[in-house]
């Protein structure tokens, strides 16, 4: 009798029982889930699902099967791989962990329902595709602390600081893909935002590589013939699901890196020492005789080219006019050797040499070059002019058109800096200059001067505004290491805010770019805010005279730099530099 008929019979018996006298007990159904009374197994279906294993690892390969049937005492589950698994109770589940050596494989799962009541076995099959997802790395390497301008990254988030990453600004384009049947993933580790390369299925003969569309020429990694010194990589694997020994092929050379279980290793390749001149790809594979387990995963991070920071040559010299003996003081950074070329055919390797030039009673200029090397012997040079001999006493310089009495074509030229923003003129010519002559005598009325209107002003921090910001600049040569007075007169029309000002500085050096000049630390600076009107206002009492003391630098090369922050007309006149008596 089939199950449907048995159900009808049981229902009829049950109805008969409840319609009789209450002293009679109800007749129970003849069938139950364990099978007594059944003539065949009723096997409806089975479900298949992937999930986490007993250790909590959910990589897509751990699969569970749950059958649903009546009249069954056990099930035999054939997962299409490995030995069958038996379920001994109804409602039970069988699980199997498939291999993770392939990204995706379809298996035929067969479940056979069995009964110990003599009923015939019933089987069902189902195709199930197992998709393996390589396990996510749980740690990241310590990022190398390298000067950013000396790094070209292939793959790296940069330098870690306080749990965040400061990215390297320079990058080389690379193709980060698996090759053959190896699998490539780029995964984030933890909550720091650090990404790592993950290559899985690195069993032999599979390889993985980082390739470059244009080969990396080691001698020109940093451009303009500036070479890289090293290639850096961090490598990591968990042996139970990874590899223990990796072969890295770079530029015709082969390197092996033994990996400690779950520990990031750092590999640094000295490119010059290994004779590597060009790199088309960086290839990874299992070392012959190495072990590859489970998904054979290798994690990679911080792939970058870098160079040792170059030395920064710098020096000062202490000379006295008419003295032919000059003492040089080294002020270099990261220097390991020193080579001085004194410009007269003589050299020295001392760190702080003193050199005596030929005393022929004539003032002469020599170009002195200091060449320093860093600890891998790469050289960098700096050259400065040194003047010796000539008359004694400090130089009293001539400031060209410091009185601003000439016409525009005459006065503008000497005061210009190469890229004065907004105008080819550093200021406006004005008839409202000082009432004082350049020699200090009273003129009795205004003279010609320099003028900044509000449309020619700079921002409060001195930077150029969009439009017509003007900077007056003049390079001056003084006697080195000598005290001088910087003197000028200024006037600002009244009625504006208190922030209206004329800023006048003596800069430490000569410049061709106003932005660079503005960013330097001046030897002396005065911010004039007296707004008493034009020079000629109130009986020629509108102007203010400024005198600032400063000491020239070791080469005597300084410059005058003047601009205005104003919304009212501002004026400057009678600019001077002279030695302290």
User: Which tokens belong to 20?
Assistant: 């009789």
User: What is the greatest pairwise CA distance in the chain?
Assistant: 147
Q: How far is CA 411 from CA 297, 401, 530, in A?
A: 74, 6, 26
**What is the structure's pLDDT at 37?**
62
The C-alpha atoms of residue 479 and residue 473 are separated, in whole angstroms, by: 20
**What is the structure's pLDDT at 18?**
36
Q: Are 91 and 183 in a shared domain?
A: no
Q: Are 203 and 233 in a shared domain?
A: yes
Q: Are 445 and 566 in a shared domain?
A: yes
Q: Are 321 and 412 in a shared domain?
A: no
With CA atoms as reference, report the closest residue to 65 among 33, 113, 105: 113
Would the pTM of this model clear 0.85, i.e. be above it?
no
Residue 3 included in any domain = no
Hey, is 299 helix, strand or coil?
A: strand
**Which of the 8 DSSP states describes residue 343?**
S
Residue 398 included in any domain = no
For residues 139 and 264, the answer to whether their CB atoms sit within 8 Å is yes
CATH of the domain at 324: 2.60.40.10
Q: Are 413 and 373 in a shared domain?
A: no
- Non-local (6+) Cβ contacts of 258 within 8 A are 244, 245, 265
The C-alpha atoms of residue 556 and residue 354 are separated, in whole angstroms, by: 19
Show which of 99, 131, 163 is a domain's final residue. 131
- Non-local (6+) Cβ contacts of 268 within 8 A are 230, 231, 232
Residue 12 included in any domain = no
Q: Are 465 and 540 in a shared domain?
A: yes
User: Which tokens belong to 150?
Assistant: 């000396």
Q: Are 211 and 116 in a shared domain?
A: no
Hey, is 532 helix, strand or coil?
A: coil
Give tens-digit pLDDT for 438-450: 999 999 999 999 9
DSSP string, 475-530: EEE--TT-EEEEEEEEEE-TTS-TT-EEEEEEESS--S-HHHHHHSPPSEEEEE--
Q: Cβ of 297: how many Cβ atoms within 10 Å? A: 26
Residue 511 included in any domain = yes
The C-alpha atoms of residue 437 and residue 573 are separated, in whole angstroms, by: 9
CATH of the domain at 299: 2.60.120.200
Show which of 274, 306, 338 is a domain's final residue. 306
Beta-strand relationship, 183-189 and 194-200: antiparallel
Q: Which residues of the chain are modeled with pLDDT < 50?
A: 1-35
- What's the length of the chain? 581
Residue 18 included in any domain = no
Residue 396 included in any domain = no
Give tens-digit pLDDT for 449-484: 999 999 999 999 999 998 889 999 999 999 899 999
Q: Are 367 and 436 in a shared domain?
A: no
Residue 403 included in any domain = no
**What is the structure's pLDDT at 12?**
35
User: Which H or E run includes 371?
Assistant: strand 364-373
Q: Are 203 and 330 in a shared domain?
A: no
DSSP string, 197-254: EEEE---TT-EEEEEEEEEEEGGGTTSTTPPP-EEEEEEE--GGGBBSEEEEEETTEE
Q: Are 302 and 321 in a shared domain?
A: no
**Which of the 8 DSSP states describes residue 272?**
H
CATH of the domain at 480: 2.60.120.260
With CA atoms as reference, report the closest residue to 38 among 118, 137, 121, 131: 118
Show which of 272, 306, 340 is a domain's final residue. 306
Q: Are 480 and 366 in a shared domain?
A: no
Domain extent, residue 326, equals: 315-388
Q: How many structural domains compose the chain?
A: 4
With CA atoms as reference, report the closest residue to 40 among 92, 113, 126, 125: 113
Residue 139 included in any domain = no
Q: Are 319 and 265 in a shared domain?
A: no
**What is the structure's pLDDT at 484?**
97
**What is the structure's pLDDT at 133?**
84
Tabulate helix, strand, coil % of the chain (nearest 5).
Answer: 10, 40, 50
The C-alpha atoms of residue 511 and residue 513 are separated, in whole angstroms, by: 6
């Amino acid at each position: 009798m089939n199950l449907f008929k048995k159900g009808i019979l049981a229902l009829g018996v049950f109805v008969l029982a409840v319609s009789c006298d209450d002293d009679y007990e109800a007749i129970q159904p003849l069938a139950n889930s364990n099978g007594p009374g059944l003539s065949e197994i009723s096997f409806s279906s089975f479900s298949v699902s992937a999930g986490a294993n007993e250790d909590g690892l959910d990589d897509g390969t751990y699969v569970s099967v749950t059958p649903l049937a009546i009249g069954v005492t056990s099930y035999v589950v054939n997962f299409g791989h490995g030995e069958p698994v038996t379920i001994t109770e109804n409602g039970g589940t069988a699980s199997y962990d498939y291999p993770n050596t392939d990204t995706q494989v379809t298996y035929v799962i067969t479940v056979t329902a069995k009964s110990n009541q003599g009923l015939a076995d019933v089987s069902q099959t189902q195709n199930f595709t197992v998709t393996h997802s390589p396990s996510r790395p749980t740690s990241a390497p310590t990022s190398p602390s390298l000067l950013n301008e000396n790094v070209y990254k292939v793959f790296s988030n940069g330098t870690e600081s306080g749990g965040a990453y400061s990215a390297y600004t320079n990058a080389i384009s690379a193709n980060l893909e698996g090759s053959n049947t190896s699998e490539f993933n780029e995964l984030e580790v933890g909550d720091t935002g650090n990404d790592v390369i993950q290559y899985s299925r690195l069993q032999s003969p599979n390889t993985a590589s980082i390739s470059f569309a244009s080969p990396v020429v080691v001698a020109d990694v940093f451009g303009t013939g500036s070479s890289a010194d090293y290639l850096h990589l961090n490598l990591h694997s968990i042996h139970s699901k990874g590899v223990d020994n990796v072969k890295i092929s770079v530029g015709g050379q082969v390197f092996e890196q033994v990996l400690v279980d779950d520990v990031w290793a750092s590999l640094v390749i000295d490119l010059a020492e290994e004779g590597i001149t060009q790199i088309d790809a960086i290839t990874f594979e299992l070392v012959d005789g190495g072990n590859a387990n489970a998904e054979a995963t290798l994690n990679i991070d911080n792939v970058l080219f870098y160079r040792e920071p170059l030395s920064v040559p710098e020096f000062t010299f202490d000379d006295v006019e008419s003295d032919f003996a000059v003492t040089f003081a080294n002020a270099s950074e990261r220097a390991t050797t020193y080579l001085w070329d004194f410009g007269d055919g003589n050299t020295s390797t001392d760190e702080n040499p003193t050199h005596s030039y030929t005393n022929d009673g004539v003032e002469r200029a020599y170009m002195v070059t200091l060449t320093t090397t860093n600890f891998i012997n790469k050289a960098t040079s700096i050259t400065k002019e040194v003047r010796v001999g000539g008359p004694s006493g400090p130089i009293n310089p001539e400031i060209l058109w410091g009185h601003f009495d000439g016409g525009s074509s005459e006065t503008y030229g000497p005061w210009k800096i190469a890229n004065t923003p907004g105008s080819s003129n550093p200021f406006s010519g004005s008839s409202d200059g000082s009432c004082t002559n350049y020699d200090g005598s009273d003129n009795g009325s205004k003279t010609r001067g320099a003028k900044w209107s509000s449309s020619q002003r700079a921002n409060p921090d001195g930077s150029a505004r969009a439009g017509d910001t003007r900077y007056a600049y003049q390079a001056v040569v003084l006697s080195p290491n000598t005290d001088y007075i910087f003197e000028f007169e200024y006037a600002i029309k009244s009625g504006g805010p208190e922030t209206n000002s004329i800023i006048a500085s003596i800069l430490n050096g000569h410049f061709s770019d106003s932005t660079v000049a503005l960013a330097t630390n001046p030897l002396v600076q005065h911010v004039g805010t007296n707004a008493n009107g034009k020079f000629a206002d109130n009986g020629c009492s509108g102007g203010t005279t400024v005198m600032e003391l400063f000491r020239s630098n070791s080469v005597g090369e300084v410059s005058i730099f003047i601009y205005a922050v104003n919304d009212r007309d501002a004026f400057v006149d009678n600019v001077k530099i002279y030695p302290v008596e």
